[in-house]
Amino acid sequence: MAGRRYRLVLFFAVLLPILVSTILAPKTARGFGNDDAFNPRMLLVGDAKVDNQRSTAPSRLSWELIQRTNAPARLVPTTVRADSTAIANEPFAWWLGRADAGALTNREIEGLRVFFALGGVLLVDDSDPQSGAFGRGARRELARVLPDSAPVPIGPEHVVFRSYYLLSRPAGRVDGPDVFDAIIRNGHAQVLFSSHDIAGALSRDRSGVSLFEMATDNPFGGERHREMAVRTAVNVAMFVLCSNYKDDQVHGPVLMRRRARNR
């Protein structure tokens, strides 16, 4: 009986206050995502499925990011649907396709609005820029998501072209424009429109062989242009991971050394 009474006294005197304080203590605020590893998620809308030919592009980007920058990245990236609550879990999504994806549903529009409200960045990557059907459809639907924001061209002066490598233009499987079009909100580029098929340049088979030949009219030529496409993708990833830190002069010396090393 005495032992039982002692345990009760111990509980009320010592353990109960600790338990109460643990329950009532303010929770640590969670940011965008549950960890710091970059996850190049493929965005799916409607009844779209993953493009099997380009399904390896996200994991290739993660691998290149780790090898080149030591930044953490998921080697097995996930997919996410625009109407899923998971869209708000992480700050990046990669929307690619060859044909017009059709009209977004109201739930997809709301999901993307939450994603952008939290600061998310969307890369819209046209797999068939010669046709342009996917790009035109994506622009139309994103105008419904963000009706107050119109795309504007951004070139080498923008931080996305300086976030890791110093790039003079975006690159992908095809030549494409020498700029990205971007939707900029509150000074931050939240949608990047690419007419270069970046995913096509990165995609590889299980043996590591590139799946797509590079277009012959690329300004850098052949495999050199594929390297520039990888650098473009790495810069987008670093832009997402670090936002506009490139403009912070505190990082100047480190960044200048990195620039010199990676020219």
Q: Does 14 reside within a domain?
A: no
Q: Does 142 reside within a domain?
A: yes
Q: Do 182 and 209 meet the contact criterion of CB atoms below 8 Å apart?
A: no
**Buried b / exposed e along 212-224 (16+ C-beta atoms within 10 A):** bebbeebeeeeee
Q: Looking at residue 219, what is its pLDDT?
A: 62
What range defines the domain where residue 100 resides? 39-262
The DSSP secondary structure of 193-225, one letter per residue, reads EESS-HHHHH-B-TTS-BSSPPPTT-SS-HHHH
Report the distance separating Cα 102 and Cα 109, nearest Å.
13
Task: Report, as ranges of residue numbers, the positions in the chain whose pLDDT lies below 50.
Answer: 1-34, 244-260, 262-263
Q: Looking at residue 112, what is its pLDDT?
A: 98
Q: Does 210 reside within a domain?
A: yes
Angle between the N-to-C axes of helices 222-242 and 57-69, in degrees from 0 to 180, rounded to the nearest 10: 80
> Which pTM was predicted?
0.80
Q: Looking at residue 157, what is its pLDDT?
A: 96
Choose among 99, 54, 92: nearest CA to 74.
92
Q: Does 183 reside within a domain?
A: yes
Q: Does 15 reside within a domain?
A: no
Residue 257, Cβ neighbours under 10 Å: how many? 10
Give the helix/strand (H/E) hosting 26: none
Instruction: Report the domain count for the chain.
Output: 1
Tell me the three-class secondary structure of 107-126, residue by residue. Answer: HHHHHHHHHHHCCCEEEEEE
Q: What is the CATH number of the domain that holds 139?
A: 3.40.50.12140
Q: If DSSP codes are grouped into helix, strand and coil, which group holds residue 95?
A: strand
Q: Does 109 reside within a domain?
A: yes
Q: Letter for the amino acid at 233?
A: A
Long-range CB pairs of 28-31 (<8 Å, 24+ gap) are: none
Q: Does 23 reside within a domain?
A: no
Q: Does 31 reside within a domain?
A: no
Greatest Cα pair distance in the chain: 89
Report the distance separating Cα 250 and Cα 163, nearest Å.
15
